[in-house]
Each structure stands twice: as structure tokens, then as C-alpha cells.
């Protein structure tokens, strides 16, 4: 990066990283929790629970979702559905992890595609300009050592 636009490049990189941190957690949460409620309700209807436990767990899930059922204290009304809520949440977060893995693979492929030929272009530009590469400590390199 030439020195003149380096500040803008650094600021853009910081902004995109912050956006990714913020947007990434929102997207992961949305993907993870999108089907959890319906999966929990479906598993609750076929579960081997007493009618009172199933009814209380269903009401708790309608009010606060499967996370509320999962956080019920042992022995509390509806806490018998704790395992069902945990399974539904695990399935949702498993799906979110798959989405994150796919997004990371796409980002890696785009980065690799964008870097094709980058080193070759950089090396040929240095040779044609006659500029010697700088030393790591910003001293002028010895021409006999640099070539």
C-alpha cells in the first residue's frame, strides 16, 4: 500500500472488521434461533410428558421461547421439557455453525481468488522501477546484498 492512502485503507479495514463483529453475531443468533421455536413445539407435542408438564412448558415457550424452558430450575413446573429445549437449541446452533463455516469458506475462496498473481505483479513492478526493496528496519539496503 502506498503511504498516501494507507490511512484510509486502515480505517476501512477497521470499519469492516467492526461491522463484521456486530453483524456476524446478529446473523448467527437469527439463524440459530429461527427454527428453534417450531422444532421445540413439534418435539413437545410428541414427548412423553404429563399433560400438566407439557402445557406449562408450552406456555413458557410461548412467553420466552425454548431458552426460557431450558433455564427453568429442576422441579419447577415445565422443567421436564428441559431436554427437549436443549436439543432444539443445539440443533439451531449447529445450523448456525454450518452457515458460519460456509461463509468462511466463501470468504477464503474470494481472498485466494483476489490474490492470484498479486506477488508476480508486485515483483515485476519492483524490477522495472529499479527500486530496491527496503530493509525491515527501514534502512537503505546494501545494493550488493539486495540483488
Confidence band of 3 (pLDDT split at 50, 70, 90)? confident
Write the DSSP string, 60-126. HHHHHHHHHHHTPPTTSTTGGGHHHHHHHHHHHHHHHHHHHHHHHHHHHHHHHHHHTTHHHHHHHHH
Mean of the pLDDT values across residues 21-49?
89
Is residue 22 very low, low, confident or very high in pLDDT (cuts 50, 70, 90)? very high
Stated pTM of the model: 0.63
Q: What is the pLDDT of residue 5?
A: 86
The mean pLDDT of 3-32, rounded to a whole number, is 90
Q: What residues contact 147, with CB distance under 8 A and at least 6 apart? A: 132
Residue range 27-36: average pLDDT? 89
User: What rounded mean pLDDT belongs to the chain?
Assistant: 83
Here the contacts of 81-89 (C-beta below 8 Å, separation 24 or greater) are 81/44, 81/47, 81/49, 81/53, 81/54, 81/57, 84/40, 84/43, 84/44, 84/47, 84/57, 85/40, 85/57, 85/61, 87/43, 88/36, 88/37, 88/39, 88/40, 88/43, 89/32, 89/36
Q: What is the pLDDT of residues 43-54, one digit of tens each?
A: 988 888 989 999
Give per-residue pLDDT as tens, 70-129. Answer: 999 998 999 999 999 999 999 999 999 999 999 999 999 998 998 887 766 555 555 555
Residues 144 and 132: their CA atoms lie apart, in Å, by 11
| Confidence at residue 38, expressed as pLDDT on a 0 to 100 scale | 87
Amino acid at each position: 500500500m502506498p503511504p498516501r492512502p494507507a490511512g484510509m485503507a486502515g480505517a476501512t479495514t477497521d470499519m469492516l472488521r467492526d461491522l463484521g463483529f456486530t453483524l456476524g453475531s446478529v446473523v448467527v443468533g437469527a439463524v440459530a434461533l429461527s427454527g428453534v421455536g417450531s422444532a421445540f413445539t413439534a418435539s413437545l407435542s410428541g414427548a412423553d410428558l404429563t399433560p400438566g408438564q407439557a402445557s406449562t412448558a408450552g406456555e413458557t415457550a410461548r412467553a420466552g421461547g425454548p431458552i426460557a424452558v431450558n433455564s427453568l430450575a429442576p422441579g419447577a413446573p415445565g422443567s421436564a421439557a428441559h431436554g427437549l429445549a436443549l436439543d432444539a437449541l443445539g440443533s439451531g446452533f449447529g445450523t448456525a455453525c454450518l452457515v458460519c463455516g460456509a461463509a468462511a469458506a466463501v470468504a477464503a475462496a474470494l481472498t485466494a481468488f483476489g490474490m492470484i498473481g498479486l506477488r508476480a505483479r508486485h515483483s515485476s513492478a519492483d524490477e522495472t522501477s529499479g527500486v530496491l526493496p527496503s530493509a525491515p528496519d527501514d534502512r537503505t539496503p546494501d545494493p550488493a546484498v539486495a540483488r
